[in-house]
Amino acid sequence: MYKHLLVPTDGSELSNNAVERAIGLARESGARITALHVMPEYIPPAFAEFPAAGQASFAEFTKATEETARIVLEAVAQSAAAAGVDCDTVSVRHTQPYRAIIDTARDRGCDLIFMASHGRRGLSALVLGSETNKVLTHSSIPVLVFR
């Protein structure tokens, strides 16, 4: 059975449901989890494909994304603790979330990636979210997709 689950989360409803299922699997199997939140990289307005009026400054963007990561990961840690499951949390900044997920799973010695089928961006592919599909395509670590 699996001993260390990587659970990527963006705080969306489906992602939160996947987190709860991952915690349940970890509790039943005696595994531990590492919750991961991938923060986007800042794109200066001059380089953005569609610059937004009033786009946040680098400092504002950094503060906001770090606060979101803190809130999302704190919720996972609290749920895991309530279930008696060991849980580490990690947030990383990356331009390619799927790559951050795979790299974190490898670097942390995870033997299963347990993730939602879609994130905040919704149905960006016909069946699976684009990041989930990329993780499935590129990961050498088993992936369990929750829908």
pTM, full prediction:
0.88
Q: How do beta strands 32-39 and 143-146 pair?
A: unpaired
Distances in Å between the Cα of 36 and the Cα atoms of 27, 50, 58, 71, 108 are 18, 28, 22, 12, 11
In CATH terms, the fold of domain 4-140 is: Rossmann fold (3.40.50)
**Using CA of residue 131, residue 136, residue 139, residue 145, what is the dihedral sign?**
positive
Structure confidence by residue, pLDDT tens digits, 109-141:
999 999 999 765 544 444 456 899 999 999 999
Q: What is the CA radius of gyration of the chain?
A: 16
Q: Domain locations in the chain? A: 4-140
Burial category of 29 from C-beta neighbours within 10 Å (exposed 0-12, middle 13-18, buried 19 and up): middle
8-38, pLDDT tens digit by residue? 999 999 999 999 999 999 999 999 999 999 9
User: pLDDT tens digits, residue range 60-109?
Assistant: 999 999 999 999 999 999 999 999 999 999 999 999 999 999 999 999 99
